[in-house]
Amino acid sequence: MEMTVHIPVMPQEVMELLDLPSGGTAVDGTLGLAGHAALMAQRLGAQGHLIGIDRDHASLAEAKKRLASFPLRIDLLQGRFNDIDRLLAQAKVAAVDGILLDLGISSFQLNDPQRGFAFSQEGPLDMRMDVTAGATAEDLVNRLSEQELERIIGEYGEERFARRIAKAIVYRRAEERIRTTGGLSKIILKALPLGYTRGKIHPATRTFQALRIAVNEELEGLGAALEKCRAALKPQGRMCVIAFHSLEDRIVKNTFRRWAQEGLAEALTKKPLRPSDAECEANPRSRSARVRAIMRIA
């Protein structure tokens, strides 16, 4: 696969919110291709310590190449930020100055047809961020009940025609197993009313998003993971979260609000920061990004 150039979302805003000290320690909990991590490394300087966490072995390998020229200590760890307590212990780190979580999917994964994230390219229906573990999207669409598919597509994809799509999937799989991104995309298109297919986003977008969230259990445990991240911060340490989905952002917003009310953290963003029109034009995948940040008090 041709190497993807990764463009980090809202880089200046994120770095200002994190405000990492020279010589400090920071975690990029969703490393990807190290777009944000490279900027974090610059801020931390030669005496700093950067810890990168990612579920995807391929992303970790590419990130390692990108960060190779930085002189600071770098630990790249395979896993989920949900396990940040265990991973920091593995790196022999007690507490950190900053944590960044980018909850979106990377262009590197989207642009690889073999990963099955994109309906725009024919490939196997996989969608796993860690290709060594768990059920694939193919498993879900061919195994789950019509009611469960409707729930996932409606809740995670916020798709108004979830029932029609779920019914069409179950009807089609009775004839033959659904195996590819293109095959699923065609089923979705046929299930939708004609006028609905002329919107700004592709009609399959919400369903593919929903399946990706379900496959990778992206919402399960997010609140608990945020608690672990806050606990890993030093006093005055900062955490910045970039969310792309309203359900994720709601969990982040409510968690940060509760911390502020309980005197555990100070909100650094009264409202989520959004990318500028210029950034959305240059990097269309940034358009749904919402950035929130806190500073730990207790």
* pLDDT, mean of each 10-residue run, the chain (298 residues): 64 96 96 93 97 89 94 94 94 96 70 63 84 86 96 93 96 94 92 74 86 87 93 97 92 96 96 92 87 94
Q: What is the pLDDT of residue 128?
A: 86
Question: Parallel, antiparallel, or unpaired: how do β-strands 290-296 and 233-243 relate?
Answer: antiparallel
Model-level pTM? 0.84
Q: What is the pLDDT of residue 132?
A: 75
Q: Could you tell me which of 142, 183, 149, 143 has the C-alpha nearest to residue 163?
A: 149
Q: What is the pLDDT of residue 2?
A: 40
Q: 112-216: which CATH topology? A: DNA polymerase; domain 1 (1.10.150)
Q: What is the pLDDT of residue 171?
A: 95
CATH of 11-103+219-296, one of 3.40.50.150, 3.10.450.50, 3.10.150.10, 3.40.50.2300: 3.40.50.150
Q: Where do the domains of the chain lie?
A: 11-103+219-296, 112-216
Q: What is the pLDDT of residue 221?
A: 82
3-state SS of the chain? Answer: CCCCCCCCCCHHHHHHHHCCCCCCEEEECCCCCCHHHHHHHHHHCCCCEEEEEECCHHHHHHHHHHHCCCCCEEEEEECCHHHHHHHHHHCCCCCEEEEEEECCCCHHHHCCHHHCCCCCCCCECCCCCCCCCCCCHHHHHHHCCHHHHHHHHHHHCCCCCHHHHHHHHHHHHHHCCCCEHHHHHHHHHHHCCHHHHHCCCCCCHHHHHHHHHHHHCCCCCHHHHHHHHHHHEEEEEEEEEEECCHHHHHHHHHHHHHHHHCCCEEECCCCCECCCHHHHHHCHHHCCCEEEEEEECC
Q: What is the pLDDT of residue 114?
A: 61
The DSSP element (H or E) to which 26 belongs, if any, is: strand 25-28
